[in-house]
Amino acid sequence: MTKVIVTGVAGFIGSHLAETLLKQGKEVIGIDQFNDYYDPVFKHKNVANLQSNPGFQLIEGDIQFLDWQSLLKDVDVVYHQAAQAGVRASWGQGFRAYTERNINATQVLLEAAKDAKDLTRLVFASTSSVYGDAETLPTHEGIPPQPVSPYGITKLAAERLCALYHKNFGVPFVSLRYFTVYGPRQRPDMAFHKFFKLVIEDEAIAIYGDGQQTRDFTFVSDVVAANLAAATVPKAVGEIFNIGGGSRVVLAEVLDMMAEIVGKPIKKNYIERAMGDARHTAADVSKARQILGYQPQVSLREGLIQEWEWVKSLY
């Protein structure tokens, strides 16, 4: 029986990942702090269906203060999804949460991982935010990272720590740089969830800047598939991969697509561009395709329809 750990298990991506691992018959230890960066009600909903599975064990706590030595006994893979997310909230007073949850927590985990005899892989959830305003689009992994938000800085620091522990202690890490993940269970502070909720409430959607910014949107099941490949493919150890949706889309066009899906026009309110938001993101996923066999399966329209159904059931 394979035993794995998923940190941030009550989150958007962590809960989907744990669900898939349980379906594959793995024993899953899920770790989450249930902090209040967004309403913990969502997080409890996310783990509710996991808890009915006999192969699932939930540990509630802060990564920095857990007994990792005993937790990592017999564990093959750690999927480290836990992080303090959110680009715009990372300025000012809130920054300490980012250093604690993104850098310090990862360091504690890595320290334990270097002595974990059974660990074959530590998959680290990184982010396209490490690139900032990349000069080359689509962006490949060899481009020097230049984060434009404090959030991006902390995730890059954590990713670099993983590489150091790999080089010096042989910790078998793989880093996945996610590009704007969406789908059912998406966090309430993320664009599509917010947009669909505002449509239900018949309110205007706030657009930062001119609406011409582009994003590479990645459906959550594609991200899960990338994690599973990163945990098993031998050549992946020590590597960094972009995980994107395979198509770069202008925000204004996404809103038109959403209007078609919900069957009514969407009200827009244009506001000033937010600090720390990258203007364009686009993933060159050829490395992930080549080594991980990564192939995004879900089109934006298909994925948006799934998320809309989910948001409707919530509100």
Residue 130 confidence (pLDDT): 98
CB-based contact 293:233 (threshold 8 Å) = yes
> Which residues does the annotation mark as catalytic?
151
> Please, which residues bridge with residue 243 across strands?
178
CATH node for 3-182+218-245+282-297:
3.40.50.720
Residue 174 confidence (pLDDT): 99
Q: What percent of the chain has pLDDT over 70?
A: 100
What does pLDDT average to over the chain?
97
- Decide: residue 102, CB within 10 A, 0-12 exposed, 13-18 middle, 19+ buried: buried
Instruction: Give dist(CA 38, CA 285) in Å, integer.
Output: 31
Q: What share of the chain is helix, strand, coil (3-state, %, to 5)?
A: 45, 20, 40
User: Omega before 138 cis (within 30°)?
Assistant: yes
Instruction: Find, among 50, 62, 51, 46, the residue nearest to 193 by Cα.
Output: 46
Residue 1 confidence (pLDDT): 76
Residue 272 confidence (pLDDT): 93
- Decide: residue 72, CB within 10 A, 0-12 exposed, 13-18 middle, 19+ buried: buried
Give 142's Cβ-side CA count (13 Å radius). 2
What's the whole-number mean pLDDT along residues 4-24?
98
CB-based contact 192:182 (threshold 8 Å) = yes
Instruction: Give dist(CA 309, CA 193) in Å, integer.
Output: 11
Residue 157 confidence (pLDDT) above 80: yes
Number of neighbouring beta carbons within 10 Å of residue 257: 14
Instruction: Find, among 128, 245, 105, the residue nearest to 175 by Cα.
Output: 128
Instruction: Give dist(CA 307, CA 183) in Å, integer.
Output: 5
Q: Give residue limits of the domains in the chain.
A: 3-182+218-245+282-297
pLDDT band at 142 (very low <50, low <70, confident <90, very high): very high
Which parts of the chain fold into alpha helices (H)?
Answer: 12-23, 40-48, 68-71, 95-98, 105-113, 150-169, 191-200, 220-232, 251-262, 286-292, 300-314
The model's pLDDT over 217-259, given as tens digits with 9 standing for 90+, comes to: 999 999 999 999 999 999 999 999 999 998 889 999 999 999 9
Residue 6, helix vs strand vs coil = strand
Residue 286 confidence (pLDDT): 97
What's the whole-number mean pLDDT along residues 116-128?
98
Residue 181 confidence (pLDDT) above 90: yes
Residue 164 confidence (pLDDT) above 80: yes
Instruction: Give dist(CA 214, CA 105) in Å, integer.
Output: 32
What's the whole-number mean pLDDT along residues 304-309?
98
Residue 197 confidence (pLDDT): 98
The model's pLDDT over 48-103, given as tens digits with 9 standing for 90+, comes to: 989 999 999 999 999 999 999 999 999 999 999 999 999 999 999 999 999 999 99
